[in-house]
Chains A and B, each alone.
Chain A
Amino acid sequence: MTGDTDDKPAAAGKLELLLERLDEAISVLARARSFAKPGKMQRVFETARRVLLQEGGCGALEARARHLEEAGIFEGSDWASPQILIPSLSTHSLQSPVEDTVMVEALSELRLLAVALGDYRHPLISQEQAHHYLTQVLAINLTMLFTPPSEAERETQGRLAQVSRRLLRHLADRIGFEHIIDKLIEEIWRVLQQRPIQVDSVKQMVTQIAVCQANPNIELGGSGQGGERLVSSLYGPSLGCREDPGLEVYRERLQRMDRGALQGEATGFARAMHDTGLVSPYHPVLLHHLLDHGDHLLAEALGLSATGRDCMLCYNELVRELVRTAVLPPTAQAVYGLALMLERGILYQPPVAPAIWRQINLPLSEWSREHLLAAYGHDAPPEARLLEGVLCMLGLPLGVGQGNNPTCQSARALSMWAYNDPDYLLQMVAWAARDDEIVMHFEGQPISSQDSVLGVAKELPMDLDPLSLLVVPHLDRIYAEMGRRCVAREGDPHRWVNPEFHGWWAGRGFSINVDVETGQLVDLDRFLRHFYACYHPYYNGNQPLIHPQPAGIAFTDSAARFIGWHAITILRTALDPQDVMRVYFFNPNNDSAQDWGDGVVVSTSGRGERYGEASLPFEQFASRLYIYHYDPLEGGELASVSDEELERVKAYLYRSWGADRIPATDLQASPANPNDSH
């Protein structure tokens, strides 16, 4: 070993020695009793990391994947159930400064690679699933694959950053590049179909694709076709800026364009925007130019329909002022918000237009300004940022997300107000942004957001749209305070909090199927029959839902295990194009397309959903529901739902979050005896 002069044999010898060490470490782990395994893992991770950094190391680990798993390297962690792993979480693990975290992720992915390539038949995950998972992991971590570590990564990870890169390179080599780009594009389109307000991360991914396409060293083969539209919608949506010439050059070009050319520009931008929901930074430049060219071109550049155009013409001065103050290249998304707000016709509600005028001139408090600048930087004035947020919220009420914060109630309230009560929302924004205080009333008693210190969120949320950024901290504190005032009451506090917090239209009648004391299911049949009677068109006299209603679901993961209680809004119930009765709802989670396990997969497009809506077949939805509101003055007659249908709903429930919540008596009676209905 010591006498080697030639480099190659030395490297090969080194890998060999390391593999010997690794195999020893694996067998120590394999021999250890389960309680002692955690103590033996670091040695495996440590040695595996050094193996991985050698030429051929990834392959050697891939070959040992089964051996590693059987020795227990994933025992006691989520990685032991590969079927529930979520691709988007891999980024966090791979960029972790903690070696063990990086390595458990790396080893898990090499294991799935062995599964995907058919070398390892896994009891819990199929070859196709593994392949699908890995392409998503690659798509999401594309940046790491093609670019060297950023300064931040180097600072936190040091040489560990190389581990992640080597791993991804190996995965890409084995899986094939064409899968990645296509997957990424598919993923972006899927997210965009939900028309989120926050699109920064999508814009980053599109930029990533543009970078790959421009790099001659990356062989994309036939893939990446669907990416053209995405890239062009951001970087060259029209003839005048096709080659991404820069904002200044484009502004000059506009000066020399005749009406026909401007018409072409306007159509190009409008089409790109409505196709993708993404707004190019060139778009505001065009709009500002068109302010001097009459209404037709302006309406054209916003891509307005007859409704939107009509609304724009009625409120012409307001629209133009909004373009002047809110629409800047860094706040380009305001264009889309403005266009959709006009399409919704909400300006015709008397208080809305004056409230928007107030918003345009609203002086921001010192705290609001600083908070906006801290979250969004100095590219645009904070007032314009907030206006962008207001326009987007009014245009895309279902595009609001809670970010990475436990504030689903606040996000839901904002969405509901934007959807149903826009001038109330604008009032809230004014109070929060100008006065740093919101006062709401709970059963006649005022609650000020300044008096309650503690909200649900432990830290001030930063990853939100501009409007939420300012309003959510207030709402969160008020919501938490309302909850505190219900502490002594029996039963679930949402009964009283939801109507007071969201608005008069939230039904005062309240149904819950979980006993708060014991966590056991209670009165399930009645709960479900009543839900059918209130919400299902076949049982409620074909009455469409009038107001959005808050509801609570038992959130389950892709293995149908209970994760927690979650707030959503029921928007409507209707037949989808395939004549399946579906509940359409708003989920304040940032991406509503979720797999809730046991075949319950939330759909976000293609089944009659409007932008931002999520949907499930009625039965499946009912099986995850645990709280809903209703008007106590309306009937209360239970629906005569067939026993078979009810049993199907209950079976979904018992197979998921209800599995360990069945009271002893129910367990004997109901699954075995379907005639047990009351």
Chain B
Amino acid sequence: MDKNPDKGYVALLGWSLNAVEAAEDFDRRYIVVAPDWAEDYCKQHDIPYVPWNFERLNDRSMEIAQTLKDMGVDVAIPLFEETVEWAGAINSLLMDNPRLLGQSMLMRDKSLMKRRAQLGGIRVGIFEEAHDREDVMRFLRRVNQTLLKLDGDLNDPIHFKAFDKAGCLGHRVIRTPDDVDAIPEEEFPALMESHLDGWEFAVEAWVHKGKIRFLNISEYVTLGYSVHVPASPELERYRPQIRQQIEKLIRTFEIDFGFVHPEYFVTSDDEMYFGEVAYRPPGFKVFELLERVYGFNAYQALILVFDPKTKEEEVAAFFPKEIEDAKCYAGCFGVYPRRRVVSRLEIPEETEDHPYFESHELTPPLEETVTKRTAFGTHWGLLFFKGDDPKQMHALLKRQEELDFYV
């Protein structure tokens, strides 16, 4: 698409084909910043590219920021958890605003993030940092004592999350001392949280000039397995409160532009608890679901709200009306093999024949033996569904958990 020189020039941090495709079809100039393995591909397809290996921030970090500045780039957009602090560092130089680096560091440390939220008056569960297994044992015991459990009663679980990993990676549910023993050394330090019985959901919010421009609620059917968009009417009922919560979050974290992806709980007494927040697109292809439901490209939306040169009218015209403009419900389900030994991929007929079933992104198994899952881990691919009835969608996604896709 023809690029408009009056609009901003954005850098995409990390390699995402969907993001590149969206950028290619949008009227902003863009450049991909990715590790050098992407170079051949970019050259072959004329994709503007600068090589950069994202490791920990270090002395050389200024180098890439300066390179982008010299090229006239206006803003860097993080696509993955690992590039969030890089975006902060780069943008603090590009926009001459050192606060942006600090803000991004907050987003990368689950413990700092919680404390900041707490300071801002946002409700959070009980949490603590763990540096070794001893800390985890103590926390598990204390949480369960607080809940007046007796010896021999089934423990309430606690959640254990590596500090700086995205989404479900490094997320474990701990119930017993055995679970504690199973935590590998390299996952420390980590954040521990009490378990809240409630309704977990995620929010995707596009922010421009300090205001929420589009807010989506993604409903988890089962955490780590399935999600659908938009949320069911029962959850959408809370939209006004949720919107207030996000506004509070944006104020607390001093977010002026960009995109946030927080997770919350609603407990049975309608109380909202903050889980965590990320400053990058969600995993689980929620962006794709949104495109199916609303017809707008969520990556282009991302570029739009990050671009400091974007005009108010363009933002207003770009986003559809939440819920009102939704054409259907779209959901996806992450498949994990259930058997220990698998030989091939086979979509169950029941799934395939369902009128809601749209497509899948599963790949044939590479190995016959399935590694045992410890943490939530990574799914082997997604199934996509689309339909009109939220109840049926919910039941359908739930049902998939009982089926074998790898046999």
Contact = CB atoms under 8 A, between A and B. Distances in A.
A36 B19 CA distance: 10
A158 B24 CA distance: 40
A31 to B, nearest CB: 9
Interface string B346-365: 10010011010011110010
Contact of B355 (A1, A156, A159): A1
B21 A36 contact: yes
Contact of A34 (B41, B45, B353, B359): B45
Given A36-B21, A43-B359, A159 B45 contact: no
A98 B365 CA distance: 10
B39 to A, nearest CB: 14
Interface in A1-22: 1, 14, 17, 21
A152 to B, nearest CB: 12
B407 interface: yes
B358 A32 contact: no
B345 interface: yes
A468 interface: no
Contacts of A46: 359-360
Interface string A264-279: 0000000000000000
A42 interface: yes
Contact of A25 (B346, B352, B353, B359): B359
Contacts of B173: none
B21 A159 contact: no
Interface in B15-32: 17-18, 20-21, 24-25
A577 interface: no
Nearest to A44: B359
A98 B358 contact: no
B361 A155 contact: no
Contacts of A157: 344
B386 to A, nearest CB: 9
A50 interface: yes
A158 B359 contact: no
B21 A158 contact: no
Interface in B360-385: 360-361, 364
Given A34-B45, A35-B45, A98-B364, A47 B344 contact: no
B359 A97 contact: no
A166 to B, nearest CB: 15
A576 interface: no
Contacts of B18: 39
Contacts of B20: 35-36
A99 interface: yes
A33 B355 contact: no
A642 B346 CA distance: 65
A14 B24 CA distance: 36
Contacts of B358: 21, 43, 47
B122 interface: no
Contact of B24 (A1, A33, A97): A33
B66 interface: no
A164 to B, nearest CB: 15
A520 to B, nearest CB: 26
A356 B52 CA distance: 69
Given A33-B24, A39-B17, A50-B352, A159 B359 contact: no
Interface string B273-297: 0000000000000000000000000
Contacts of A43: 358-359
Contacts of A155: 343
Nearest to B45: A35
Interface string B33-55: 00000000100110100000000
A289 B407 CA distance: 54
Nearest to A40: B21
A99 B345 contact: yes
Contacts of B349: 159
Contacts of A17: 355
A42 B361 contact: yes
B24 to A, nearest CB: 6
Interface of B: 17-18, 20-21, 24-25, 41, 44-45, 47, 343-346, 349, 352-353, 355, 358-361, 364, 407
The 7 closest A-B CB pairs, nearest first, are A35-B45, A43-B359, A36-B21, A158-B346, A46-B359, A97-B344, A98-B364
Interface of A: 1, 14, 17, 21, 25, 32-36, 39, 42-43, 46-47, 50, 97-99, 155-159
14 contacts: A17-B355, A33-B21, A33-B25, A33-B45, A34-B45, A35-B47, A36-B20, A36-B21, A42-B359, A46-B360, A97-B344, A97-B364, A99-B345, A159-B349
Given A36-B17, A97-B364, A98-B364, 12 more contacts: A25-B359, A33-B24, A35-B17, A35-B44, A39-B18, A42-B359, A47-B358, A47-B359, A97-B344, A156-B343, A156-B344, A158-B407
